[in-house]
Amino acid sequence: MYVARDKDGQLYLFKDLPLRGKECWWAEAGVDGTYLRLDKALFPEVTWESEPLPVSLVTLTEGTA
């Protein structure tokens, strides 16, 4: 999974490495179910100029949250 920020500041989580377009990142596999918009306050280190950031989702087991 990858986190990338569009030129307008919106932040997205992509299932696969996205491709940089003119003003936004594109999911190569298509649109449906391959990305999710995130709160744009998250990952301030990710900018339009930076490359997508590889990330992982981790499940929390009971009692660790």
Segments making up each domain of the chain, as ranges:
1-56
Residue 65 has pLDDT above 60, yes or no: no
Assign 3-state DSSP to the chain and report helix, strand, coil percentages, each to 5.
0, 30, 70
Cβ 18 vs Cβ 2: under 8 Å: yes
What pTM was computed for the model?
0.82
The total number of residues shown for the chain amounts to 65
With a cut of 80, say whether residue 19 has pLDDT above it: yes
Average model confidence (pLDDT) across the chain: 89
Given this model, what pLDDT does residue 57 score?
86
Beta-bridged to residue 24, according to DSSP, are none
